[in-house]
Amino acid sequence: MILNLNKDRAMTHYFSRKPLVTFQQDSNTGRKQGPRPIPEGRADRRIQGFRKAGFTLIELLVVISIIALLVGILMPALGAARRSALSIKSVSNLRQVGIGLASYKADRKGFYPIHSSSITKIANVKPRWADYIFPYLNNVEVYRSPNLDEREFVELTKPFWHEVSLTDAEAAVRAGSGVAKPVLPSDPAVHGGYGYNFQYLGNARSSVMFNGRESDLVALSDTVVVGDTTGSAKNGEPGDGGAAAYALDPPLGSARGSGKGSYYEGGGDENTGTYDPGFNYALRSAPAERNNGQAGFVFADGHGTNLSRAEIDDYNQDGFADNGYWNGLGDADSR
């Protein structure tokens, strides 16, 4: 039987360039005979095999470079896929809002809700259009755009009425106030990013208060109900301070008006020349193209889709703004 020296001793012999040795045991006497040198070539091969178990620095750098290159190629594709997925989710949200609206109207002889209310607030919250639909679609997530950026999430969202009050939203509006919850939440659920076509479907302002009715609409598939909104830029950036955060203005003021002027926050018509899709509105709560460069909408017939501003604001595509997709008539000449 051959007995090897321990590893430390073998390594010491190698690096001192002394020949490695083994001892051979006589099978009859039991005495060790030797030492017998291990050929240097064999020891070299053993150590070389040990060295090949790892990577050289150059090999590691090559692998890292390849990984970095692949990441650089894949990241834009992954970002585009994520944006596309969020766009699809937003349209799905809007379609579900359309289903909730259909249930609401079925209980009210086809009437649409008003956009807001003027009752006494609780914790600075009052009922708005999303609160009237909520009993028919009680999923808070679908009332908020998944594409809001950090600033928009702060400025454009509003707490739900049911988070602060024990009184149903419409019952509170009829009574002029609601009963506050004994304990108010520190982080209430919110809705935001979607605005209501209030100038044609339901305005809560006393000077023009009305509820639109489905039977009055001629072109259901061409009438915007709810869509992505920028909010108004009256306070600086669109939607700052929650300005018109839950409203969606048509490109031109309606014949009935908003109750203040052409738009939710007042003023006169803007962008009245040759239509400029990149126009910076001062007061209009305009469609927000946050879904891969388009805005999402749900229409009176329940279908949802993404359209650009240039498409939704110019029904007959003559290069000038009109209210054809907003007025319920599918008529570019009516306001």
Distance CA 216, CA 212 (A): 7
Question: Dihedral of the CA atoms 281, 283, 287, 289 (nearest 10)?
Answer: 50
23, 32 Cβ separation under 8 angstroms:
yes
Whether the ω angle into residue 35 lies within 30 degrees of 0, i.e. cis, is yes
Distance CA 240, CA 305 (A): 27
pLDDT tens digits, residue range 39-52? 555 555 555 555 55
97, 226 Cβ separation under 8 angstroms:
yes
pLDDT band of residue 68 (cuts 50, 70, 90) is confident
Query: What DSSP state is assigned to residue 203?
Result: E
Q: Is 132 exposed, middle or buried (0-12, 13-18, 19+ CB in 10 A)?
A: buried
Give the tokens for residue 323: 């209210």
Distance CA 280, CA 22 (A): 89
Asked if pLDDT for residue 101 goes beyond 60, the answer is yes
- The DSSP annotation for 95-146 comes to HHHHHHHHHHHHTTTTBPPPS---SPPBTTB---HHHHHGGGS--GGGGB-T
The closest alpha carbon to 200, from 245, 249, 240, belongs to 249
Asked if pLDDT for residue 38 goes beyond 90, the answer is no
pLDDT band of residue 71 (cuts 50, 70, 90) is confident
Average pLDDT of the chain to the nearest whole number: 88
pLDDT tens digits, residue range 273-314? 999 999 999 999 999 999 999 999 999 999 999 999 999 999
Q: What is the pTM of this model?
A: 0.79
pLDDT tens digits, residue range 224-237? 999 999 999 999 99
Distance CA 253, CA 73 (A): 47
